[in-house]
């Protein structure tokens, strides 16, 4: 299984914000869309960062409620680890585990074509394990 197949199951919508937006605006987006992170894109659509709920909590912890008016660009992570359609789910898990993050944008030809989260990976793993156990039970029942 690779990232392209994972995206086929979950969809390719990319929810993004521009770097000049405020954290308060991002909180509204995260809440409305029920997600944990947004891609940060410049006016030209290029990926310039990623901002997750962890970044917002950290900013609030450091600066209090005033952080809500901070620009996304001041709080986001600029060095984004990305993957490609052909990245395997195993490689993706390794990226998330070693980088200690739960979201990875998928980039093809310089454009963000999707975002995969740890939730998507776990869902896939659970489905695979269930299918394996069903196959085992069927095999035992036949014997």
Residue nearest to ligand AMP (CB): 52
Are residues 27 and 65 in contact, defined by beta-carbon separation less than 8 angstroms?
Answer: no
Instruction: Confirm or reject binding of residue 16 to ligand AMP (CB under 6 A).
Output: no
Closest separation in Å from C-beta 78 to ligand AMP: 9
Site for ligand AMP in 63-102 (CB under 6 A): 77, 80-81, 99, 101-102
Instruction: Confirm or reject binding of residue 124 to ligand AMP (CB under 6 A).
Output: no
Instruction: Confirm or reject binding of residue 52 to ligand AMP (CB under 6 A).
Output: yes
Are residues 50 and 39 in contact, defined by beta-carbon separation less than 8 angstroms?
Answer: yes
Calculate helix-pair angle for 89-99, 3-10, nearest 10 degrees: 90
SS3 label, residue 14 = coil
Stretch that binds ligand AMP, among 1-9, 51-59, 60-68, 106-114 (CB under 6 A): 51-59
Instruction: Confirm or reject binding of residue 36 to ligand AMP (CB under 6 A).
Output: yes
**Which residue do the tokens 């394990």 mark?**
129
Instruction: Report the DSSP beta bridge partners of residue 103.
Output: 117
């Amino acid at each position: 299984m690779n990232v392209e197949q994972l995206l086929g199951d979950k969809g390719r919508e990319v929810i993004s914000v521009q770097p000049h937006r405020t954290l308060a605006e991002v909180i509204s987006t995260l809440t409305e869309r029920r997600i944990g992170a947004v891609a940060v894109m410049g006016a030209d659509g290029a990926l310039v960062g990623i901002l997750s709920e962890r970044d917002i909590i950290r900013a609030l912890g450091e600066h209090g409620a005033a952080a809500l008016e901070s620009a996304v660009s001041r709080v986001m992570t600029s060095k984004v680890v990305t993957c490609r359609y052909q990245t395997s789910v195993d490689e993706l898990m390794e990226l998330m585990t070693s980088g200690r993050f739960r979201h990875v944008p998928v980039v093809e030809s310089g454009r963000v074509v999707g975002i995969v989260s740890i939730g998507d990976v776990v869902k896939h793993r659970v489905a695979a394990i269930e299918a394996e156990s069903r196959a085992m039970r069927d095999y035992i029942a036949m014997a």
